[in-house]
Every structure is written in structure tokens, then in C-alpha cells.
Amino acid sequence: MPNWKKVIVSGSDASLSTLTITNSGSTDDSLLLTATEDSSTAAPVVTFKRNTGTAADADYLGQLKFKGENDADQEVTYAKITAKILDASDGTEDGLIEFANKKAGSNVITARLRSDSFQLLNDTNLSVDGQISASSLISNNFSGSFQGDGSSLTGINTTVVSSSTVSDTFTNTTTHSVSHTLGTKDLIINVYDSNDDIFVPTRINTPTTSSVILHMDPATSGRVVIGKSGHIVSGSSLLDGTGVLSGSAQIATNISGSFTSVSASIATDIIAAHTGSFTGSFVGTGASLTNVTSSKSINTRDNSTISFWQGSQAQYDALGSYDSNVIYFTT
């Protein structure tokens, strides 16, 4: 009796409950979908649709299974890709794709791509051959290195290890080589014997910027500490760009405080050509100060006050009016 087969013609509404395609060893595609239209639309399209009137969160929408056999000739599902409903609410629908793998003999969900996050689950690690960049905060535990702005990192416990010294020990030897990463031959080297006393070896050699060789006679045990001097943060905030405080133009408009005599570290005089004001007190010679006005008052026997004024003739003329209780001196 002949085997009848159902043939589906393009444009018909016929359907199949199941379809099995068997490939008997050919390396050709078992299923090939080809679109021939000349456009940028998505084609060909494979659609998985779950048609139900009771859609709910966590409903399965479709699944791709990848099966094979184990060494006992048993069928095993090694991996699955599953689509699910995350939120079935009208207007706020969300979906997810779930990845499952066979792990130590059990089916385990290893990753989940949600609409709001990508999750690695069940002790699945992230291994990246390259760099990870992020425009927002990254939380939880990480191992490896970070590049970029770390200003938002919190809860960091750090141990600062000095890289400016290297220590090594030697036992009953006449020569001892030490490798270091100090990057210079200009080193400070202290050698101690087994009693922690400093001694001077027969010879100390620095053949490279990353090694030191000790020569000792007789054979000695002890330790060596190799270091390089620290950095001197140097520079000068030059008032005029030359490094010399040489004139009044270098002094800010207002200086408050006191000047305690003129020392040898300040060259010559501070010239009063600078047009500014000074508050505070001066200690030392004021012979070169000009345009100085002064006043002093004393009490008389009848408790009235007589004041003394001193200034230049031009300053006196500029006063305009004069107090009868003031004695004026012009210089």
C-alpha cells in the first residue's frame, strides 16, 4: 500500500502538527529558507507564536533545543534557548530569552537576557578577552583590572606596597645577585650580616638598571636592602617668571602682616613705586619711605587735646581747613 504524504502549496492555509527532517549524513543544510526580494526588510522570517487566551508572566513562547548523544549512546539535550513572557500586562509587556546548558550532567539556566538586564546565573563566570566599558554604575564582585574613572568606586580596601625598596637574603655565599624593578643604577644599598650589623661587601656591582651583584669574602649569610631615593617635588612659583623677587611690581596690591627687617635673602630694597596699600607693621629702617603722614595727640592740664600733624607742604596745602587745636609741621 502506498505511503501518502501531505504537500503544502504556497498560499494555502494547511498546517502540520509535527515535521521531522532527517539528514542521513550530508553536510548540506537540512533546512534552508531563502528570500529573493530586493529590499532591506527582514527576510526570511521564522516566527514562534504561542496563541493562548490566558497569557501570563513566565509563559514559554518557544524553544530551540540542541540534542546529541553521550558516550553511552543516550540522547542528551546539551543546550536550549527559550523565549518567555516576563510581563504580560497590557501596555507594559516585557520579554526575556533564557540560555540553558548541560552542566555536570544537569540542565542549568546559565544566562538570562531580560528587557532590563543581562544576568549570568548559577555560578556562571564572565570571561572577556578585551575591555569592558560602561556608562553607568557596575555593582557586585569583580576580579581583574579596571580602566577609566574610578571616582564612584566604594568599599575598597587597599594595601599600599612600597616599590621603592627590595629586600633579599643570602646564605653562606661569596656572590649574590638580586633582581629589582627600580629602573636605575643610582641605588642606596645596605648589606646586613646574620647579626643584623651593617657591613661593606668586597664589591657591589650594578650591571643593569634591574640587578645588583654582591661580592663577599669570606662567604657570608645575611640580607640586602636595595632602595632608591624618593622624589623631590621641586619648582618655583615665580612672581615675575624669573625666580627673582626683585621689584615692587612683583608684590600684590595689598599685603597685610608684618615685615621683620630686610634680610640678605631679599635683594636690595622693595621700591615704593608700587601703587598699592599696605597694612600691618614694618620693623627695620624706614629711611626710604616717602609720602608718610603722621599725627600724635597729647592731653593738656585742662583735659583738652593738642594734636600734632606732620607732612609735606603740598599735603598741608591740600588740607584746605585747619584745626586750631593742631600744631602743623611741614617737611
Digit-coded pLDDT (tens) for 28-37: 888 888 888 8
For residues 257 and 286, the model is more confident at 286
pLDDT above 60 (res 76): yes
Distance of CA 255 to the CA centre of its chain: 40
Q: At CA 95, angle to CA 93 and CA 99, rounded to 5?
A: 170
Instruction: Tell me, yes or no, if the pTM score tops 0.95.
Output: no
Other Cβ atoms closer than 10 A to 70: 11
Instruction: Say how far apart CA 103 and CA 126 lie, in whole Å.
Output: 16
- In terms of pLDDT, which residue wins out, 74 or 280? 74
Q: How far is CA 138 from the centre of its chain?
A: 14
Q: Are 12 and 20 in contact (CB under 8 A)?
A: no
236 pLDDT tier (thresholds 50, 70, 90): very low
Residue 101 backbone dihedrals phi, psi, to 5 degrees = -130, 155
pLDDT band for position 60 (cuts 50, 70, 90)? very high
pLDDT band at 269 (very low <50, low <70, confident <90, very high): very low
Q: Which range (90-104, 118-132, 141-155) has the least confidence?
A: 141-155
Q: Which stretch of 1-5, 45-49, 161-165, 202-206 has the lowest confidence by average pLDDT?
A: 1-5
Question: What average pLDDT does the segment 251-269 reach?
Answer: 43
Exposed / middle / buried, residue 220 (Cβ in 10 Å: 0-12, 13-18, 19+) = buried
Q: Which of 219, 221, 152, 225 is nearest to 188 (CA)?
A: 225
Give 153-210 pLDDT, tens digit per residue.
Answer: 777 766 655 567 899 999 999 999 999 988 899 999 999 999 999 999 999 999 999 9
Question: Which pLDDT belongs to residue 302?
Answer: 57
Q: Which three cell numbers stand for residue 239?
A: 612672581
Gap between the Cα atoms of 251 and 290, Å rounded: 18
Three-state DSSP string of the chain: CCCCCCCCCCCCCCCCCCCCCCCCCCCCCCCCCCCCCCCCCCCCCCCCCCCCCCCCCCCEEEEEEEEEECCCCCEEEEEEEEEEEEECCCCCCEEEEEEEEEECCEEEEEEEECCCCEEECCCCCCCCCCCCCCCCCCCCCCCCCCCCCCCCCCCCCCCCCCCCEEEEEEEEEEEEEEECCCCCCCCEEEEEECCCCECCCCEEEEEECCEEEEEEEEEEEEEEEEECCCCCCCCCCCCCCCCCCCCHHHCCCEEEEEEECCCCCCCCCCCCCCCCEEEEEEECCCCCCCCCCEEEEEECCCCCEEEEEEECHHHHHHHCCCCCCEEEEEC
Give the pLDDT mean for 125-138. Answer: 76
Question: What's the whole-number mean pLDDT along residues 125-147?
Answer: 72
Predicted confidence band of residue 78 (pLDDT cuts 50, 70, 90):
very high
Quick one: pLDDT band at residue 8, thresholds 50, 70, 90? low
Question: Grid coordinates representing 59?
Answer: 509563559
Average pLDDT, integer, range 224-230: 83
CB burial class (10 A; 0-12, 13-18, 19+) of residue 153? exposed
- Average pLDDT of the chain is 77
What pLDDT was estimated at residue 321? 84
**What confidence score (pLDDT) does residue 273 get?**
41
User: Per-residue pLDDT for 233 more than 60?
Assistant: no
Work out the percent of the chain whose per-residue pLDDT is above 90.
38
Report pLDDT for 246: 40
Residue 169 is predicted with a pLDDT of 95
Residue 239 has pLDDT above 50, yes or no: no
Look up residue 150 and give its three cell numbers.
574610578
